[in-house]
Amino acid sequence: MKRDIFGAIADPTRRAILTLIAIQALTPNAVAEKFDISRQAVSKHIKVLQECELIKPKQMGREIYYHFNPKKMKEIDKWLQPFRALWDDRFSKLDNVLKNLKTK
């Protein structure tokens, strides 16, 4: 069963794991060292990220390294695009209000 990408990134621990792996490919043990949770819990989070294809495993010798999949992030970016236009418009209006207040 393929998981929903938005459900995967809804969890703060998974977002933190994703951020770590985006910076550098890591083994599950290396990821687990960064968190104050069990290795089993980290493995479950990694499994969710892998099922929605945000990370991909790569066998290197006896170790499995997880790599960030930036192509999958485009799905999130595409969904956010209409909101960016709305935010830009609102921030521009706020800038204008603040400039008017400053000149008064």
Domains of the chain are: 5-103 (1.10.10.10)
Helix (H, G, I), strand (E, B) or coil at 60: strand
H or E stretch at 66: strand 63-68
Can you give the pLDDT at residue 1?
59
Can you give the pLDDT at residue 71?
92
Return all residues near 5 (Cβ < 8 A) that are at least 6 apart: 52, 53, 54, 72, 75, 76
Q: Which of 79, 78, 66 is nearest to 19 (CA)?
A: 66
pLDDT tens digit at each of 104 positions of the chain: 578 899 999 999 999 999 999 999 999 999 999 999 999 999 999 999 999 999 999 999 999 999 999 999 898 999 999 999 899 989 989 988 888 888 87
Q: Where are the alpha helices (DSSP H) in 1-69?
A: 5-10, 12-23, 28-32, 39-51
Can you give the pLDDT at residue 104?
76
